[in-house]
Amino acid sequence: MKIIASLLVVVMVLLCCAPAVSAAEGKGGFMGFLVGCCFGIRSGAAYNDGKDLHWREWALLIPIAGIVVAVMNGLDGMNGLTTADLAAQYGATYY
């Protein structure tokens, strides 16, 4: 219980400080914070550049489907898929 309370305090402090830091740049904010936490630094940076999240990134949040999508992502990485390939397939909105 103490761990959960400690984590909630940390999250509240970050929520108070993150918008103030990002407001000077016009990027980031709470959504940038969530994307960075949930999907990693690369997705967070891409989101701040104006890119949308791909459906595979959203699917990682679903408990069982997330495992299947993670394996699909691993197989694509193993086969040599690059961001240039994804940009050609899905457009510049995502990559």
Same domain, 34 and 64: no
Q: Quick one: pLDDT at residue 47?
A: 87
Could you list the pLDDT tens digit for every one of the 95 residues in the chain? 777 766 666 666 666 655 545 444 557 888 888 888 888 888 888 888 888 888 888 898 898 988 999 999 899 888 988 888 888 888 877 77
Cα–Cα–Cα angle for 61, 67, 72, rounded to 5 degrees: 110
**pTM, two decimal places:** 0.59
The reported pLDDT for the residue numbered 16 is 62
Q: What letter represents residue 24's amino acid?
A: A
pLDDT of residue 24: 41
Q: From CA 16, how far away is CA 1, in angstroms rounded?
A: 23
Among 21, 36, 51, residue at a domain's last position = 51
Containing structural domain, residue 37 = 1-51
Residues 3 and 20 in one domain: yes
